[in-house]
Amino acid sequence: MKLIAFIFVTVVCFLSCNWQGENNQEKRSVIKKDIKSEEKNIDSNKAAELVELAKMKFKTKIINLGTIPKGDSTVKGRYTFKNIGEAPLFIEYINPDCVCTGYEHTKDSVAIGGEGYIDLTFNIKDRVGSQKLYAMLKANTKEKFYKLTLKLDIE
Instruction: Select 56-154's CATH number: 2.60.40.10, 3.40.50.720, 1.10.1380.10, 3.20.20.70.
Output: 2.60.40.10
C-alpha neighbours within 13 Å on the C-beta side of residue 76? 9
Residue pLDDT, tens place only, 88-100: 999 999 999 988 8
Please report which confidence band the pLDDT of residue 9 belongs to, taking 50, 70 and 90 as the band edges.
low
pTM of the model: 0.66
What letters, b where the CB count within 10 A reaches 16 and e where it falls short, cover 37-68?
eeeeeeeeeeeeeeeeebbbeeeeeebebeeb
**Whole-angstrom Cα distance, residue 4 to residue 18?**
21
- Residue 101, beta-bridge partner list: 122
Question: 14 or 2: whose pLDDT is higher?
Answer: 2
Look at residue 12 in the predicted model and tell me its pLDDT: 58
- Residue 74, beta-bridge partner list: 123
Residue pLDDT, tens place only, 42-52: 444 444 444 67
Q: Which one-letter amino acid corresponds to residue 26?
A: E
Give yes or no for a contact between 151 and 63, defined as CB atoms under 8 angstroms apart: yes
List the domain boundaries for the chain.
Answer: 1-51, 56-154
